[in-house]
Amino acid sequence: MVPLVPNVSGPGMAFTICPSSRDFTNALAHPLLGLVNNSNNGLPTNHILAIELDTVKNHDVGDIDNNHVGIDVNGLHSVEAATAMYFSNKDGKNISLELMSGNLMHLWIDYDEAEKLLNVTLAPTTIPKPNRPLLSKYIDLSRYLLESMYVGFSAATGSLATSDHYILGWSFNKSGQAQSLDVSKLPSLPQKGKAKEKTGLIMILLIPLAIVMVKITGAAYFIRIKKYEEIREDWEREYGPHRFTYKSLYKATKGFSDKELLGAGGFGKVYRGKLPSSNIQFAVKKVSHDSKQGMKEFVAEIISIGRLRHRNLVQLLGYCRRKGELLLVYDYMANGSLDKFLYSNEKPNLNWFQRFRILRGVASSLVYLHEDWEQVVLHRDVKASNVLLDAELNGRLGDFGLAKLYDHDTNPQTTHLVGTVGYLAPELTRTGRATTCTDVFAFGAFMLEVACGRRPIELIGLPETIILIDCVFECWKKGAILDVCDPRLEGNYVKEEMELVLKLGLLCSHSMAAARPSMRQVMQFLDGDANLPELPHDSAFFGTNSEASDYLFSFPSSSSNGSAPFLFTTDSILKFGR
């Protein structure tokens, strides 16, 4: 595996045995190596065995690190895995290997049918087969393999082809020892360019011609270069996401044509782009010169999204900087943002099953951000317009422009108020300090928004407003909480789930931060693994307070759709605990 960009790799590759009738049309390249998708990953009907060489740590499938070998059965959750290394017969110890080094490696996969033992051994091609395997797993393959199977390889280089994967030679035998490979007879890795020797005389004759050509084309070339000129700084080298050239983004979006415009918001315009070589679509957020999103927020988004991996998060594919322009490249979400489905007649109505699945997906992503990643990530702007829907209408949380990271077991230090009115916890309007509890409050408002089909705060003319939390609480207090659910559902929902979502939305909206559940507890409630506690009967315990309302009225009511104003600061958006 050869990286095309330093420190950036594709997901990896795998030796696989799979049914001859298997259809890979809907398999996901990243992060599932083109073998399965999110809906069938792990199903016993897959009948797949794979030995993965994985160079991306994917929390969704329990990867141990970003440089490991794993034994996979029926999906990408490895039944056995180990960091890439080999046993040196000479030194009598294990020595580390870097899968994405570009160096040639030898992989042996041996199965003893009598003992039901599968061994996987890895080593450089410069040494003989080690005496000890890297992985050993007792497994009865007859339980998983069918009579007719295919044998071969699957690889994923990433959406942007950030690495090349090569199989220079392989041998296989289903009923005995496979033929040994003669490394000296294997082909060489393809060369990136052919060096051509020139004689001194030819070079001398070419120099005058070259000077003439430079004089003729120099001015045009200079103009062309300036058109696509970019900015690169030292700090960019330490971050992982792929760097796009401005030229490639310019062409992919047809010169940032209005026909490719997907939308515009407080942070700039978003365009659809397509790579002509592969027809892969992506979204480009182009932060305009007059946008309030500055370099700190841009860097925050690069750092946080670029290294996060979760099926319910919008994946950052790369970025570019040019003069005063900041550009971020994301996975393309075919169905746009959730708020369009909730409030626009242009989109079809979402049924309750789809809405409940979206809520569970976003909740799962917040558990990952708050507890399961290497640092705590505060999103700080959870709302329907920041939840994007993929082709299957799965919800993915995006727009990490306000994301804040800090180490586990430490306290966030930023004290600047950011977010959207209606989703702001009461303590946030007082102190400006965001915590996981303030994200929970915003998620509570989001839950009520999805269930009721209404915005958290609706402006019907200053100073008159409708506060959604108050409406839900009053209906619950009267014993008629279902009266507030979205009428577009026409009563077609699971009553127990709707009541759970509405009550849980109230609980997450508790005015006391300590009384709110954690996002992991929220997931337990949604999954039915824990019972929801009783809610207090005093309306003072729920929602925002007069301070939050004061913030609302400090903004002009220029919005035609009644959406809540956005609060923003450019100071100290990103700060590390380390």
Question: Which residues contact residue 291 at a Cβ distance below 8 angstroms, ignoring those fewer than 6 apart?
Answer: 266, 267, 268
Of the residues 63, 381, 399, 439, which is catalytic? 381
pLDDT at residue 394 in the model: 93
Cα–Cα distance, 439 to 444 (Å, whole number): 9
The reply to whether domains 2-168 and 234-331 share a CATH topology is no
**How far, CA to CA in Å, does 413 sit from each of 410, 513, 577?**
9, 17, 9
pLDDT at residue 373 in the model: 87
Question: Which residues contact residue 117 at a Cβ distance below 8 angstroms, ignoring those fewer than 6 apart?
Answer: 111, 136, 137, 138, 139
Q: Residue 132 — φ and ψ, nearest 5°?
A: -115, 135
Rg of the chain, C-alpha, whole Å: 28
Phi-psi domain of 256 (left: phi exceeds 0; alpha: psi -120 through 50; beta: other): left
pLDDT at residue 413 in the model: 53
Under CATH, which architecture does the 234-331 domain have? 2-Layer Sandwich (3.30)
pLDDT at residue 368 in the model: 93
The answer to whether 65 is a known catalytic residue is: no
pLDDT at residue 403 in the model: 62
- Residue-by-residue pLDDT tens, the chain, 578 positions: 776 655 556 678 888 988 877 777 777 776 678 888 888 888 888 889 999 998 888 877 888 888 899 999 988 889 999 999 998 888 888 999 988 888 888 898 988 877 888 899 999 988 888 989 999 888 888 888 887 888 888 888 765 555 677 888 887 776 667 777 777 777 877 765 444 444 454 454 445 545 445 444 444 444 444 555 566 655 555 544 467 888 888 889 998 888 998 877 656 788 999 876 667 889 998 765 444 445 555 565 566 667 788 999 998 787 787 766 778 888 889 898 999 999 887 778 899 999 999 999 999 999 999 999 888 888 888 999 889 998 889 999 987 766 666 667 666 655 456 677 888 888 887 888 889 999 999 999 999 999 999 999 887 655 667 889 999 999 998 999 999 999 999 999 999 999 999 999 999 999 899 999 999 999 999 999 999 988 877 766 765 544 444 433 343 333 334 444 444 332 222 222 32
Cα–Cα distance, 388 to 313 (Å, whole number): 9
Answer yes or no: CATH 3.90.1150.10 is held by domain 338-567: no
- CA dihedral (368, 370, 372, 375) positive or negative: positive
Cα angle for residues 93, 103, 176 (degrees, 5° grid):
70
pLDDT at residue 223 in the model: 41
Cα–Cα distance, 565 to 422 (Å, whole number): 9
19-22: long-range pairs with CB below 8 Å, 24+: 19/47, 19/48, 19/146, 19/148, 19/149, 19/150, 20/148, 20/149, 20/150, 21/148, 22/46, 22/47, 22/48, 22/150
pLDDT at residue 277 in the model: 65
Under CATH, which architecture does the 2-168 domain have? Sandwich (2.60)
Indicate the domain borders of the chain: 2-168, 234-331, 338-567
Query: The tokens 């760097």 sit on which residue?
Result: 243
93 annotated as belonging to a binding site for a ligand: no
pLDDT at residue 81 in the model: 92
pLDDT at residue 345 in the model: 79
- Yes or no: say if 56 and 184 are a contact pair by the CB < 8 Å rule: no
